[in-house]
Structure 1
Amino acid sequence: MITFVNRFEVHGSVDEFERAFDATSAFFAARPGFLGHRMLRAADLPGRYVNVAEWESREHFERALAHPEFLPHAKALRALATSDPNLYTTVLERTAPK
């Protein structure tokens, strides 16, 4: 499994950004290897978001990015925000005891 983390700084309308990201989310959800994601909005910093997505593999993620239908989503998000994307692998994971 690979984790994709992308931090966004919105310089356009946050409502428009959230709508555009919702469409991007639906696109990725339909791609093979997509496991799920969470979009988080900073509680005290308007316009700052973090997307955390999990994929079966780096190859699945890269194929989704290379899909021709992704380009319009990327352009729409870039028009509204800057981003800092990175791939991560799990080093340590712990959950609360039950």
Structure 2
Amino acid sequence: MLEVAILDIIPGKETDFEAAFAVASAIIANSPGYISHQLQRCVENESRYLLLVNWQTLEAHTIGFRSSPEYREWASLLHHFYSPFPTVEHYQLVLEPGS
């Protein structure tokens, strides 16, 4: 299951966001059902980031991580950087090259 979030950061706060995200990365990486994640910065809009998180199941993210005390710590580190608050969607693999 792939979690996709477009993160629009308050302009001028990108460096602070990236530093906070480096700390927050350890929080999500230790969550049950977590597989991997990556954060990418938009070339055309330097205040926009793409967060991709691979989870074993949808519930590992929506129930396990989001209802955990660790999520509250994640939120306190990151949520104040967002404007507007991101929409998070989940995707299922349909076709993989070579299959």
Same-fold call, TM > 0.5?
Answer: yes
Q: Which runs of 5+ in 1 are unaligned?
A: none
Q: Deviations over 1:7-65 (max 9, x none)?
A: 00001510111122222211010112111011010112111000111011112222011
Q: Is the 8 A contact 1:20 1:73 kept in 2?
A: no
* TM-score of the aligned structures, taking structure 2 as reference length: 0.84
1:87 aligned partner = 90
* TM-score of the aligned structures, taking structure 1 as reference length: 0.85
2:54 aligned partner = 54
Q: Distance in 2 between matches of 1:80 and 1:58?
A: 25
Aligned-residue RMSD, C-alpha: 1.5
1:78 aligned partner = 79
SS of residue paired to 1:49: strand
1:69 aligned partner = 70
Q: Which has the higher strand share?
A: 1
Q: Distance in 2 between matches of 1:69 and 1:57?
A: 18
SS of residue paired to 2:80: helix
Q: Is the 8 A contact 1:3 1:52 kept in 2?
A: yes
Moved >2 Å (runs of 4+): none
Q: Deviations over 1:67-88 (max 9, x none)?
A: 0121132133221113121111
Task: Give the number of equivalent residue pairs.
Answer: 94
Q: Which runs of 5+ in 2 are unaligned?
A: none
State the percentage of identical aligned residues. Answer: 26
Read off the aligned partner of 2:66 and give its amino acid letter.
L
Q: Distance in 2 between matches of 1:23 and 1:10?
A: 17
